[in-house]
């Protein structure tokens, strides 16, 4: 009898339930009645506290198009995993003991970068682990694509599409703040697809003078509106020169709710134009997964079941050159897949006249 645990960790995104379903359906198809699946509630917290339940085949029915995660999720910072908390809880010890008490053959973990760090820690502690890469940021190293990304890009692009009509009607400058603290894949993709005039991403520090120069030139050319797609983690060229500590101090003292509002103030002061800020926020993570993400999540789930059947543990399921392949967790953990400033997508944007504020 195979006993498999499944948990989802970190931020939610579209496609989590589709991936859970893919894992379960493939396991049931391969092992029939010789498999038991245990859903661990609220991510690593559930594994630490021993909060889990035996799942039935019916639990995985009707969830392909459902957003969020039926198992719940939580954020458990990797840097605190080996820290004994105020309640004397040894998190790593508890996770290992609960894994053993469930008599698991393998633990399937769905998550992003922080999740994969902890998954690799569990692998190093001797647990059988297989992971699936999810995040709207598409910044997990070792895979061309994460599920959740395309669904979120669809939403962000729709926001930009809708902003266009009001921007053109009123002749305003609109800033749309898109999720992405460290990686700009989402802002880059939605910005191009949504026809943004300026795209600002964390990987390419911006000059406010270059941004306003673009806006002024558009006005001079008779275009009285501009759309800026701005990643929430962007930084100016001046900020890029600061140390990590100095940058955090400067941002903590910033008198604006987010970088987009600071940009709005600066652009308004330099151009005299009317600026509006739109922050779709968690809308980008919600709702049903798009067809692409349903397919990708299902492919990942089925591949995870195959790795379990082959006892090929310690791997993340990844998409590379449109093929599903295993990537060792030791190679994935602790690495970010950032946008190369000279990559083809950035060059495409520049070729059609999009400014990156350089």
pLDDT tens digits, residue range 220-248? 999 989 999 999 999 999 999 989 888 88
Q: Which helix (H) or strand (E) holds 54?
A: strand 52-54
**What confidence score (pLDDT) does residue 146 get?**
97
**What confidence score (pLDDT) does residue 188 get?**
98
Q: Is the pLDDT of residue 170 over 90?
A: no
**What confidence score (pLDDT) does residue 84 get?**
86
Which of 91-100, 247-256, 257-266 has the weakest average pLDDT? 247-256
Q: What tokens does 185 get? A: 């894949």
In this structure, are residues 96 and 107 in contact, taking their beta carbons and an 8 Å threshold? no
**What confidence score (pLDDT) does residue 167 get?**
85
Q: Could you say which architecture CATH assigns to the domain 152-285?
A: 3-Layer(aba) Sandwich (3.40)
**pLDDT grade for 343, boundaries at 50, 70 and 90:** very high
Domain ranges in the chain are 2-148+289-332, 152-285
CA within 13 Å, CB half, 300:
35
**What confidence score (pLDDT) does residue 88 get?**
84
Residues pairing with 175 in the sheet: 228, 277
Given 137, 139, 154, 197, the catalytic residue: 137
Strand 106-111, strand 226-231: pairing: unpaired
Q: What is the CATH number of domain 2-148+289-332?
A: 3.40.50.450
Same topology, domains 2-148+289-332 and 152-285? Answer is yes
**What confidence score (pLDDT) does residue 182 get?**
93
Q: Is the pLDDT of residue 267 over 90?
A: yes
* Residue found by looking up tokens 């903590």 in the block: 252
* CB-based burial, 77-90: b 16+ in 10 Å, e otherwise: ebeebeeeeeeeee
Q: Catalytic: 105?
A: no
pTM, 2 dp: 0.94
**What confidence score (pLDDT) does residue 41 get?**
97
Alpha carbon distance 315, 297 (integer Å): 16
**What confidence score (pLDDT) does residue 78 get?**
86
Q: Is the pLDDT of residue 171 over 90?
A: no
């Amino acid at each position: 009898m195979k006993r498999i645990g499944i948990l989802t960790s970190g931020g939610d995104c579209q496609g989590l339930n589709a991936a859970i379903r893919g894992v379960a359906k493939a396991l049931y198809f391969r092992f029939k009645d010789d498999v038991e699946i245990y859903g661990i509630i609220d991510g690593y917290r559930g594994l630490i506290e021993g909060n889990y339940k035996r799942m039935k085949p019916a639990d995985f029915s009707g969830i392909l198009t459902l957003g969020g995660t039926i198992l719940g999720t939580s954020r458990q910072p990797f840097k605190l995993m080996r820290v004994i908390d105020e309640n004397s809880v040894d998190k790593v010890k508890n996770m290992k003991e609960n894994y053993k008490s469930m008599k698991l053959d393998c633990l399937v973990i769905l998550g992003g970068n922080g999740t994969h760090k902890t998954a690799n820690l569990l692998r190093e502690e001797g647990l059988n682990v297989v992971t699936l890469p999810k995040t709207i940021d598409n910044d997990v190293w070792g895979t061309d694509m994460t599920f959740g990304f395309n669904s979120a890009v669809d939403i962000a692009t729709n926001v930009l599409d809708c902003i266009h009509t009001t921007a053109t009607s009123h002749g305003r400058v609109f800033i749309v703040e898109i999720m992405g603290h460290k990686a700009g894949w989402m802002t880059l993709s939605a910005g191009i697809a949504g026809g943004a005039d300026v795209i600002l991403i964390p990987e390419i520090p911006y000059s406010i003078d270059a941004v306003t120069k673009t806006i002024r030139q558009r006005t001079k050319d008779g275009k009285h509106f501009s759309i800026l797609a701005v990643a929430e983690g962007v930084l100016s060229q001046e900020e890029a020169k600061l140390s990590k500590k100095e940058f955090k101090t400067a941002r903590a003292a910033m008198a604006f709710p987010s970088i987009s509002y600071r940009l709005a103030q600066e652009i308004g002061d330099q151009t005299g134009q009317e600026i509006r800020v739109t922050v779709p926020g968690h809308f980008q993570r919600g709702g049903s997964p798009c067809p692409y993400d349903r397919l990708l999540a299902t492919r990942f789930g089925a591949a995870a079941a195959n790795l379990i059947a082959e006892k090929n543990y310690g791997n993340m399921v990844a998409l590379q050159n449109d093929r599903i392949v295993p990537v060792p967790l030791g190679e994935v953990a602790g690495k970010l897949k950032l946008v190369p400033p000279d990559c083809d997508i950035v060059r495409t944007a520049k070729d059609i006249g999009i400014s990156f504020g350089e």
